[in-house]
Amino acid sequence: MMQLHNQEKKQFKKLFKQEHIDDFEDRFKVLEVFLQAERHMTDKDLIQLLEEYGYKSDPDFVRDTLRMMCQFGFAQTNQFDNGVVWYEHRHLGQHHDHMICTKCRKIIEFKEDQLENLQVQVAAVHGFHMLQHKMEIYGICSECLKKREQLISLVTAKQGERLVIKEFIGGSASQMRLLSMGLRIGDEIEVVTNFNKGQLVIALDYNRLALGRGLAQKILVQPSNN
């Protein structure tokens, strides 16, 4: 990794001086800290990291340097489902995909040659010449799964989860309402949407059901094994 970083620094110096970019030394410090981190980070993360290393940089200057780093191919951006812009080191000639934990927001990089080859084959079947692609898998990481209680309220479930209804809590009126909607203990459901406010939508036997958050809180579920 050290050899790769040294190579990147040499190319950075060559390109930025060739293009007569101003404040080169300060921009080079931004690159050095960015490469040393070798992880996904926001502009705020990088600004904080620079301060920890003793570099006092104007936030707009750091953002402008990141923009240039993306322009010249030293960094690239990703926007996952929450819309936040993440920066990562762009390794030339290498590709990887991402798994994103919807609970703690951890980003895990992975590369699977079989998947890469399959995507090329699928594109070829459709007469399509693939130039680039990205895969994002959303779920819950192993650490968050360990911390999670066996039974959870439906209102806290994440979009895309498949769950089994284990229990109804609350008064008889709410239980009767749930039963009248066609929900039963043992039903397997999928969370279609849950934006942490307003109604959430679940799927049961290819039917969509909209639930208020108060009612969803009265449904206890656990992850499905299917």
Both tokens of 209, joined, read 């059901």
Both tokens of 174, joined, read 């709410």
Residue 133 marked ligand-binding: yes
Contact 78, 126 (CB under 8 A): no
Phi then psi dihedrals of residue 218, to 5 deg: -90, 5
Max distance between CA atoms of the chain, in angstroms, equals: 75
Residue 70 marked ligand-binding: no
Q: Name residue, tokens 């036997």.
A: 205
Q: What share of the chain is helix, strand, coil (3-state, %, to 5)?
A: 40, 25, 35
Both tokens of 78, joined, read 């990703």
Residue 95 marked ligand-binding: yes
Report CA Rg, the chain: 24
Contact 149, 215 (CB under 8 A): no
Both tokens of 60, joined, read 């707009």
Q: Give the other-Cβ count within 10 Å of 16's Cβ.
A: 21
Query: What count of residues does the chain have?
Result: 226
Residue 129 marked ligand-binding: no
Q: Name residue, tokens 């934006």.
A: 195
Q: Name residue, tokens 């449904």.
A: 219
3 state DSSP class of 101: strand
Residues annotated in the binding site, as ranges? 95, 97, 101, 104, 116, 133, 141, 144
Question: Residue positions in the annotated binding site for Zn(2+)?
Answer: 101, 104, 141, 144
Q: Which residues are annotated as a binding site for Fe cation?
A: 95, 97, 116, 133
